[in-house]
Amino acid sequence: MIQHESIAAHGGQLVNRIATTDQRQEFLDKADHLPIVQVDDRTVSDLEMIAIGGFSPLTGFMEEADYQSVVNTMRLANGLPWSIPITLSVVEETAAPLKEGSLVRLDDAKGRFVGVLQLTQKYHYDKKQEALHVYRTNEEKHPGVNVVYNQGAVNLAGSIWLLQRDPHSKFPLYQIDPAESRSLFREKGWKTVVGFQTRNPIHRAHEYIIKCALEIVDGLFLHPLVGATKEDDIPADVRMRCYEIMLEHYFPKDRVILAINPAAMRYAGPREAIFHALVRKNYGCTHFIVGRDHAGVGDYYGTYDAQYIFDEFKPEELGILPLKFEHAFYCTRTEGMATTKTSPSLPEERIHLSGTKVREMLRRGELPPPQFSRPQVAKELARTMKVFTENQYEI
């Protein structure tokens, strides 16, 4: 069993690239003289995750050696496991005047000076190769591939500093960085902590596998992703209300910490499962839940491909233990939540609903059955669905 005291950040040391007061002032003094690159919300999320240590051991955007190694082998150039390229891509016209070895000012979409890049490299890359290796498809309708195909052709690499970081506009109470989560785990005396990743509202199947995991560890780190997602994913504020409802009524409060994950969603399936696990390792988790079709989209990945990929690494290389769960359902024969591992039921004795089916029910004003969703959560989703339908949005 991995003990909490031995869980170092990935690569050995938790990265901190948040500019000190003196550094920030120095950069602000130079602001008007630095070349500016405007970055999108996804890049701002990556910038933040690098700075707070969520992407340790990365100190910035990947140089070509690391990028090529990650795309082709799921490892950094030094051999350390890493499955998703973290890059800052710009168009040729933006890259051309930038000089390697210089500082670059990074502004967000609102024009705020949010970060600094110490530019060490500019390099071209093969978008199709990245798509096929990372996402296992080159179809542009895949949301992750679509992002790659529509971003610039040149990657800017180098270490970063984060200058501008305000309390989260919607969830300031849940903005817990890796250094703080590790401190909280120590204060609570948790030696083993399981992390749970989701971009969807929590339902009974989620609740079941989380509680199964909670039986064998000291605490739960409920860590929903609130960065950029697909337009038809349920909004983060709705999901957070659902988590709050569940924690209020159905979980032991002293054994759960709810925090936001500011990262953007990639929809890279198996590779993203590895990525999500390593991020939670950086937050101090010793275990990580991997369910069916983790980080999947459409039918691009097999149901349990995100579990099989962990077998491609030695456990000590990853340093965090995956807890692999089958698809859970409500079993009418045993009158409880179960999986095919624990239930003798026939398919017709299992209650599980697709997201599409649930949305259709909510649009008709029907609540999902309590065997699928806790009533309080179903009512919250129904209320939200009505608001979004009236505004011609889909959740």
Q: What is the span of the domain harbouring residue 309?
A: 172-390
Residue 167 lies in a domain: no
Residue 192 lies in a domain: yes
Spatial separation of the C-alpha atoms in residues 35 and 222, rounded to whole Å: 40
Shared-domain flag, residues 60 and 196: no
Pairing label, strands 154-162, 121-124 = antiparallel
- Cα separations in angstroms, 324 against 75, 179, 294, 306: 22, 27, 10, 9
Q: What is the pLDDT of residue 361?
A: 80
Residue 94 lies in a domain: yes
Lowest model confidence (mean pLDDT) among 2-6, 259-263, 285-289, 304-308: 2-6
Residue 150 annotated as catalytic: no
Shared-domain flag, residues 192 and 148: no
Write the burial class of residue 103 (CB in 10 Å: 0-12 exposed, 13-18 middle, 19+ buried).
middle
Lowest model confidence (mean pLDDT) among 119-123, 230-234, 336-340: 230-234
Q: From the CB of residue 1, how many other CB atoms can be counted at a distance below 10 Å?
A: 9
Shared-domain flag, residues 124 and 271: no
Spatial separation of the C-alpha atoms in residues 17 and 21, rounded to whole Å: 12
Q: What is the pLDDT of residue 360?
A: 77
Shared-domain flag, residues 318 and 281: yes
Of 162, 183, 198, the position where a domain reaches its end is: 162
Q: Which tokens belong to 236?
A: 């983060």
In this structure, what CATH number is given to the domain that contains residue 75? 3.10.400.10
Q: What is the pLDDT of residue 364?
A: 79
Spatial separation of the C-alpha atoms in residues 358 and 341, rounded to whole Å: 25
Spatial separation of the C-alpha atoms in residues 250 and 228, rounded to whole Å: 28
Spatial separation of the C-alpha atoms in residues 356 and 309, rounded to whole Å: 28
Shared-domain flag, residues 248 and 316: yes
Q: Which tokens belong to 180?
A: 């703080």
Active-site option among 16, 138, 146, 200: 200
Spatial separation of the C-alpha atoms in residues 27 and 148, rounded to whole Å: 30
Shared-domain flag, residues 134 and 229: no
Shared-domain flag, residues 123 and 44: yes
Shared-domain flag, residues 358 and 307: yes
Shared-domain flag, residues 58 and 89: yes
Residue 313 lies in a domain: yes
CA 366 to chain CA mean position, Å: 31
Q: What is the pLDDT of residue 198?
A: 79
Q: Which tokens belong to 183?
A: 């401190």
Q: What is the pLDDT of residue 229?
A: 66
Shared-domain flag, residues 81 and 200: no
Q: From the CB of residue 97, how many other CB atoms can be counted at a distance below 10 Å?
A: 7
Q: What is the pLDDT of residue 287?
A: 98
Count of the separate structural domains present in the chain: 2
Instruction: Calculate mean pLDDT across residues 17-26.
Output: 96
Of 132, 162, 192, the position where a domain reaches its end is: 162
Spatial separation of the C-alpha atoms in residues 348 and 332, rounded to whole Å: 9
Q: How many helices (H) and strands (E) does the chain have?
A: 14, 15
Residue 93 lies in a domain: yes
Shared-domain flag, residues 154 and 199: no
Instruction: Calculate mean pLDDT across residues 129-148.
Output: 97
Q: Which tokens belong to 274?
A: 């590895």
In this structure, what CATH number is given to the domain that contains residue 227? 3.40.50.620
pLDDT digits (tens, 9 = 90+) for 322-357: 999 998 999 999 999 999 999 999 999 999 877 667
Spatial separation of the C-alpha atoms in residues 377 and 382, rounded to whole Å: 9
Residue 13 lies in a domain: yes
Residue 200 annotated as catalytic: yes
Q: What is the mean pLDDT of the chain?
A: 91
pTM (whole model) above 0.85: yes
Q: What is the pLDDT of residue 271?
A: 98
Shared-domain flag, residues 230 and 343: yes
Active-site option among 17, 165, 199, 271: 199
pLDDT digits (tens, 9 = 90+) for 258-288: 999 999 999 999 999 999 999 999 999 999 9
Q: If you ran DSSP here, which 8-state letter would residue 225 be given?
A: B
